[in-house]
Each structure stands twice: as structure tokens, then as C-alpha cells.
Structure 1
Amino acid sequence: MGEELEKSSSQKRLLGKHYRNVWATPVDIKYLDMTAFAGGLSPVELNMEKHNFTLNLLGKDKVQYQFKAINKNPTSLLPTGLQTTFAEDFIQDQLSSAHPFSPLVVPPLAAAAGVYHVNPKLVYVPYSRLLGTYISEIGGQIGYIYKNPSKDLDLPKGKDKPDRIINTEELYKELKKDNHNRVDQKSFLKARLLDLIIGDWDNGESEWKWAAFKNGGAHVYKPIPLN
């Protein structure tokens, strides 16, 4: 999965030990059959925000899914003059500082904290013609696939269903449209504290969804971290 991240003892002293042994350990990973998963998957859009590869997919079950590759694209983090140089190789190597299986432990932690969450599954995406124009970026990648949150998302026990799920851009519009609309500050604080506990520092705007709940004539929005 990440054999290239394994280094000699001297290189580890210089570059850091990190989780190189985990990245280099052979593991069994399920093959994503795009003809069978969710009745069949069709690619919709590839998002390469920051250094992540995220492919939006639509299943025949009419549910939207996202596949997020474990491998990163360091090029976008560097100025033009340093791209395709040793600096890019160094940043790619530092991928070893992140545990590749950490997303699998987040759902039970989030559930215990009462934070809305997605349920990622670790999969291997083959070089399939069904990927269309995204085959070069996504084909052969290992990553996590999960349902894009909807009204039927997995809720903490005893929680009500939201009216709808919106993205961050839509949230800004809703807050601007009506001063009575608001973000549930306690829920957002819990989500951010969980981020700090697990060491997730860089969630961008696209890595949040918001569950809208009626509150009189307005709405209260609770966060759903995707990453």
C-alpha cells in the first residue's frame, strides 16, 4: 500500500519514523466493484481541493457517494518553482506521518461524543472504464468510500431527523438570509474538539455538511464532518 514510504534506519532518523511500518504492512483490501456496489456507480465529478483526490459518485440506488484516496497530491501545496523537485518528494514522504487506517476508528468515537459522522469503508478502486475521464487519477487508488450525508444519515441514538442536508456554501447563504438561522455552537465545538483529539487539523469548507433542523420559524444547523 505504501512500500515506498519504508526507509532505512538512517533515513528514519532524518525524516521521522512515523507510521511507515503500517503503510508498508500488506493488508487485504476489498475490491470496489463499480458494477455491483450500490447497484452500480457512475462518476460525477473529481474534486482536487488542496492535496486530496475526492471522486463524487452516484449509485443506481440514487444515493450519492464519495471516494477519497489515501494517496495525496503534494503538487498543489507547492509554488510552481518547487513542483517536480525534491520538495515534492519530501512532502509525499511525510504522508507517513498520518495513520492510513485512522478514518476507520472515527465513527465509534464520533458516535460516543454525539457527533454526526459518515461511515467510511476501505476499498481498492481498479482501473475500470467506468471511471471515464478520471481513470488516470483514481484508477489503482486505495481509499475510503462513504455515503454523502442525506436526511437518512446515521444519527446518534435518540436524535431527530433533519429537514435537509446542505453544504457550507449553502449554509453561508442561509445565515445571511435570516438572522434567526444559526449554527449549533455546542455541536460545532464538540466536532472541532474531536478533530483536535484525533489530530485532524485541516478540514476545509468542502469537508463539512450541515444538518438543518427547524427551530420555530428558522433553522438550527448542526455540523457533519466528512473527513
Structure 2
Amino acid sequence: MKKVSIILLGVVIILIGLIYFSVSGTQKTFETCTISNFEELQSTNFRNHDSVLIAPSTLYEANLLKDLVQGSNYRNAWSEKVKFPIVFLDTLYGGMEIIKEGGGKQTHSLKLHSKNDIIYTLRSVTKDPEKLIPEIAEDLGLENIIVDGISAQHPYAAILAAELAQALDILHTHPRMVFIPKQDVLGDFNEKFGNRLFLLEYETESKTNWTSLKNVSEIIETKDLQKLKFETKAKISVDQEALIKVRLFDLLIGDWDRHAEQWGWVIQKSDRGNIAIPVAGDRDNAFFNISGLIPSIITNKNIEPLVRPFEKEIDHMPGLVYPFDRYFLSNTSEEMFIKQASELQKNLSDKKIGKAFEAWPDEIRKLNEKEITDKLKSRRDKLQEYAAQFFQQIQEQGKLSEALKGSEDLELSSSQLACFECDLEN
């Protein structure tokens, strides 16, 4: 018994040593893209060129030990060199005006206003997780556990998600990847935003209709949708079938990060009043591929149920149901979910899946297309089963008693907090 204890202790010590050696291999917490075909960036006039060769980030390059301990994830996609178009804001869509700096906990972003009165956003492809690093991790020199987790995100996820959405007639923000060199229009933002790789896409709020839908008055965010209904007393309803469809699409592509602030709403006028049609923004976590010893422990469903890996099967449905779903979809039926799942299965053919990957550079397709395709097909084939589980989880978790994320400062009654269609007070 004593020998066994000594052996186990030795194994634990070795394991801890390997983990510490793996995560302490790099001290960097943030790095922008790596530009390969221009050595002297300061003296390069990018207006004389139309493209640039870039690796989105070399920060996640790893040896065999790091792959084992922290996962192989999408490291190769991050470090693969790909050619991207060069964009200047003073000529983009007739000229862009910077409205303000935005961004969440990891993403650097700028909101832009175009000459045709449409709002766009530039969202950094490389992420800055410094705000997410706990003090204890810094004290122990283990910041890389958090930093390296970004390698589970695919740098081209939003592009593929948009192509699949387009094939299924689902609204999306039409993202494209562009290189923004330092330029006069950026002004004080040059240091933070110049010479970087971005996703350029429509913003999920706009006074001008950028969708293909007719009779659209505006595009607003979730908080403003609530204000429109509850403060102005406007007659408005959510297109629940469209929302069910896009939420099942989220299950297909493994996008687990779908809180209320990740959505916009296209307000369409009709004889029955206004109809709010959902449009998803921020697809950073689609196809989220996490592996390795440390990430597998951290994302165990009993430890972190909300962060779910993109595998052939969905491993924990309760973690994929957000307060957003309970708020907007509690007054629906299982039949509605099954119907949308059946239509998605029918419409997302193998041919359409293959066609969607044509939006990716050949270099990236060679790395990840087969693995992602196999997982997509597996999830598609089980989608009706998942749809039933998703609906059941919404019903089990019930209506809300707290505000949606981003709506905490709204003064809402208990019925208005409970769900969008609720009227418990009357």
C-alpha cells in the first residue's frame, strides 16, 4: 500500500511538472498577426499593393508536449500563411467614418459609418484575453492556460458559418477578412488597430436596411427590441420559427456562445404589426475544437457546462440553452422545433456543405475541412433528436426571473422579465 501511494505521488508530481512546463513555455499574452511579405512595415506604402501574406497568429505554435497537455485545437490554422486584401477606410464603400471603439472581453473592434448610412464593424481576428486572466494565474505564471485557449477558436469560423447560413436562407452579417494598414483615418486608433487582420461585417443595428428583406424599418439589438415593445407599447412579435431555425443552426455548427447581446433584430412591417426577425452576430466560437488534458478538465460539463466542444455528438444539451432561449422560445411547441430540424436536414445537403468550404482559402481547407465536415454531417443527421432535447430543456429550465444580459438597466415588470410574449399581470 505504501509503495502504491509513493508511485501515485510520483505520477502526480510528474504530471504537475509537465503541465507547468507546458504552460510556462511562452510568457506572451497577446500578439497581432504576422506579416510575411513585407519586412519594413513603417516604410511600406500599402496603397501600392492589393494584398498581404499573413499568419493570423503564431502565438499558439506548439510542440508535442503542449499539444498533449493543452490540445492541438486549430493551431495550424492560426499559423498558416494566407493572402488577404488590403483595405483603406477612406475609400471603402465610398469612405468610412469611425463612430466609436467597441469590443468585448477579448475582441478589439471599431464601429464604422458608411456614406450610404450603414453601420459596419471591424472585429479583430486575433484576441486579447488579458481581462480574462485571474490574478492567481498571473502570480503562478500560468497565464498561458487562458491565452492558449483561444487556439480552440477557428480564425475562419465566421466565414464558414456565414456561407452555411446563406445556403440555408438564414440571415447573417456577411463577414469578410481584411488587412487594415496604419492610415490617417485611424488617427489615434493607429497604434491599436493599424496593421492588423479584421473581420469586416454589418453591425447588428442599423437605421438602414442591409438585408434582402422588404418593408424593414430598422435593425436593432435585443435591449432595444424590449424597449420598443414595453416602453413604446408597439405591436411587435418575434418570428419564432426563424429563431428556432437559427438556434438549431447554432447546434449544427457548435456555436455555444449565444447570449442576448450576440443578436440583432430586423424589424419588418406587416399587416399584423411589426415582426422581429433574428440575425446572429459574433461567430467566434462556431466549430469550437478543444482537446488536451487541461482544456478537457476545465470544460468538463460538471465544471463549465456552457463551454461545449464541437464534436460529432452534442455531449451536454443543458449547457447550450441560454436565458435568451427561455425568454423568446418558452411559448413554443416541440412540433415547431421538429419541423425546423427536418427542413434543415433536408436543405443542408452534402453538396451544400462542400460548397460552403469554397469560401475558405485552399491552405485552410486542407487542414480542417474533412474533420469539420464529418462533424457537421453527424450533427445534421441527429438534428431532430437534438431539437426535441433542446425544446425539453427550455421547458424544464422555465421562464426567467432576472434580466437578459445587457438589459439589466431596463425597468421591466415580472411578466416582462419572464418572457417576451408573457402577460402574467393581465
TM-score, normalised to structure 2's length? 0.49
Question: What is the letter of the counterpart of residue 97 of structure 2?
Answer: S
Aligned to 1:188: 243
Q: Deviations over 1:18-42 (max 9, x none)?
A: 1111111111011121221112222
Aligned to 2:220: 166
The answer as to whether partners of 2:88 and 2:183 remain within 8 angstroms in 1 is: no
Overall identity of the aligned pairs, in %: 25
Aligned to 1:38: 93
Aligned to 1:144: 199
Q: Deviations over 1:118-176 (max 9, x none)?
A: 11111111122321232232222212102335554243xxx544232122221011221
Question: What is the letter of the counterpart of residue 185 of structure 2?
Answer: L
The answer as to whether partners of 2:243 and 2:277 remain within 8 angstroms in 1 is: yes
Question: What is the letter of the counterpart of residue 73 of structure 1?
Answer: D
Aligned to 1:17: 72
Q: Following TM superposition, where does structure 1 have runs of at least 4 consecutive aligned residues deviating by more than 6 angstroms?
A: none
Q: CA deviation at 1:222?
A: 0.7
Q: Which moved more, 1:159-168 or 1:98-107?
A: 159-168
Q: Point out where structure 2 has 5 or more consecutive residues left out of the alignment.
A: 1-54, 283-426
Q: CA deviation at 1:102?
A: 1.4
CA distance in 2, matches of 1:222, 1:139: 35
CA distance in 2, matches of 1:136, 1:84: 29
The verdict on how the C-alpha distance between 1:79 and 1:8 changes in structure 2, with shifts beyond 3 A counting, is: closer
The verdict on how the C-alpha distance between 1:153 and 1:61 changes in structure 2, with shifts beyond 3 A counting, is: closer
The answer as to whether partners of 1:41 and 1:59 remain within 8 angstroms in 2 is: yes
Q: CA deviation at 1:15?
A: 0.8
CA distance in 2, matches of 1:35, 1:126: 12
Q: Deviations over 1:199-218 (max 9, x none)?
A: 22223444321111224463
Aligned to 2:166: 111
Secondary structure in structure 2 of the residue aligned to 1:4: coil
Secondary structure in structure 2 of the residue aligned to 1:136: helix
Q: CA deviation at 1:82?
A: 4.5
More strand by share: 1
Aligned to 1:120: 175
Q: CA deviation at 1:105?
A: 1.5
Question: What is the letter of the counterpart of residue 163 of structure 1?
Answer: S
Q: Which moved more, 1:177-186 or 1:92-101?
A: 177-186
Q: CA RMSD in A?
A: 2.3
Q: Does 1:66 align with 2:118?
A: no
Larger gyration radius, structure 1 or structure 2: 2
| Structure with the larger RCO, 1 or 2 (CA within 8 Å, 6+ apart) | 1
Secondary structure in structure 1 of the residue aligned to 2:219: strand
Aligned to 2:273: 218
CA distance in 1, matches of 2:138, 2:265: 36
The answer as to whether partners of 2:209 and 2:218 remain within 8 angstroms in 1 is: no
The verdict on how the C-alpha distance between 1:85 and 1:73 changes in structure 2, with shifts beyond 3 A counting, is: farther
Q: Which moved more, 1:47-56 or 1:144-153?
A: 144-153
Q: What is the aligned counterpart of 1:153 among 197, 210, 214?
A: 210
TM-score, normalised to structure 1's length? 0.87
CA distance in 1, matches of 2:171, 2:271: 22
The answer as to whether partners of 1:75 and 1:83 remain within 8 angstroms in 2 is: no
Q: Point out where structure 1 has 5 or more consecutive residues left out of the alignment.
A: none
Question: What is the letter of the counterpart of residue 242 of structure 2?
Answer: S
Q: CA deviation at 1:80?
A: 5.0
Q: Deviations over 1:53-90 (max 9, x none)?
A: 22101223433211111111212224455469744432
Question: What is the letter of the counterpart of residue 279 of structure 2?
Answer: I
